[in-house]
Amino acid sequence: MPSATTARTGSVIETTALTKRYGSHTAVDRLDLTVPRGSVFGFLGPNGSGKTTTIRMLMGLIEPSSGRARVLGRPMPREGRTVLPRVGALIEGPALYGFLSGRDNLLRYDAADPTADPRTRRARAAAALDRVGLTAAAGKKAKAYSLGMKQRLGLATALLQPRELLVLDEPTNGLDPQGMREIRALVRELASDGTTVFLSSHLLDEIEQVCTHAAVMAQGRLITQGPVAELAAGARGRLVVTTPDTGDAARVLKEFGVADVVVAEDRVTGEPPGPDRDLDLADVTAALVGAGVRVRGFGVERASLEDAFVALTGEGFDVAG
């Protein structure tokens, strides 16, 4: 789709053949990314797949080798001065002053923003600290912060002002499970206020829990993107029949066009036929029963984004837990 059209229909990030090479190594390879306005967009990929490099290009911190990026409808890095004040960003290893307290880091950060009203600075810093759960530790020097606390403080810098777009590079990095839950809740809250959130992660279940849309990267290339529900549906779940009569069950499933039928102990599983041949599960159940199959359990195993990822790349993934 041409960029003018998608800008009108409301994508907040749009890249066309965006590429970054380091010597002979291509860190990001002809990336076409479309992030719809109002989405919580998960940018998913294993270590080294090009997530941070992409985000640095989007934020104008590094120049692409080729290709184009538009953020909030404007070309980056060229219009960074117009775009960046409307974007809150947390990028790998937030720059913090270790000798300053968390609160003073935020005050200093806020003071560097020419659009920020100095009279309301302290209130803004206090609210941002509160949102990331750092109020109690606000007076402590940042160098004494744990990794998770530094990450929270970095996130607080992105939350000083309401923004149209938040770009968060691995926002839950270094956080414990409770901290991760808090950040997920915060992301949902921000999204419900109308902020588009673009967040990178190498944790699949995190993306599934919080994101409406996702893109999957591997080795600098985009593998797929779209609504999370559709991506998961792309790897449709397998039909599972639990029965002692596995031979008859397998035969009936094959008659319905079920492929890759596998019998393991008292379970018969298979791939449902494609969307062109809609399978009515009630018909299958009736046929199984009609064939004298004693059905103890029947259903479709839920397909997850992880199934989709494995189906697409043949690779596994770290899953938080």
Ligand X SMILES: Nc1ncnc2c1ncn2[C@@H]1O[C@H](COP(=O)(O)OP(=O)(O)OP(=O)(O)O)[C@@H](O)[C@H]1O
Determine the Cα–Cα distance for residues 173 and 69; give it in Å rounded to an integer: 26
**Crossing angle of the two packed helices 102-111 and 121-131, in degrees rounded to 10:** 130
Q: How far is the CB of 183 from Mg ion (least distance, A)?
A: 16
Q: Decide whether 58 or 258 has the Cβ nearer to Mg ion.
A: 58
Per the listing, tokens 């809740």 go with 185
Q: How many CB atoms lie within 10 A of CB 302?
A: 10
Distance of CA 258 to the CA centre of its chain: 32
Choose, by CB under 6 A, the member of 70, 184, 202, 213 that binds ligand X.
202
Which phi-psi region, left, alpha or beta, contains residue 203 (left: φ > 0; alpha: ψ -120 to 50)? beta
Q: Which lies closer to ligand X via its Cβ, residue 65 or residue 135?
A: 65
User: Based on CB atoms, which residue is closest to Mg ion, 197 or 261?
Assistant: 197
Q: Which stretch binds Mg ion (CB under 5 A): 51-59, 74-82, 202-210, 243-251?
A: 51-59
The pair phi, psi for residue 85, each rounded to 5°, is -65, -15
Closest CA to 200 of 59, 2, 24, 30: 59
Q: Which stretch binds Mg ion (CB under 5 A): 11-19, 48-56, 210-218, 295-303?
A: 48-56
Contact letters for ligand X, residues 29-68 (x by CB under 6 A)? ----------------x-xxxxxxx---------------
Task: Indicate whether 201 belongs to the interface with ligand X (CB under 6 A).
Answer: no
Q: Which of 4, 22, 230, 244 binds ligand X (CB under 6 A)?
A: 22
Q: Which does 45 bind (CB under 5 to 8 A by kind): ligand X, Mg ion, none?
A: ligand X
How many residues of this chain bind Mg ion (CB under 5 A)?
2
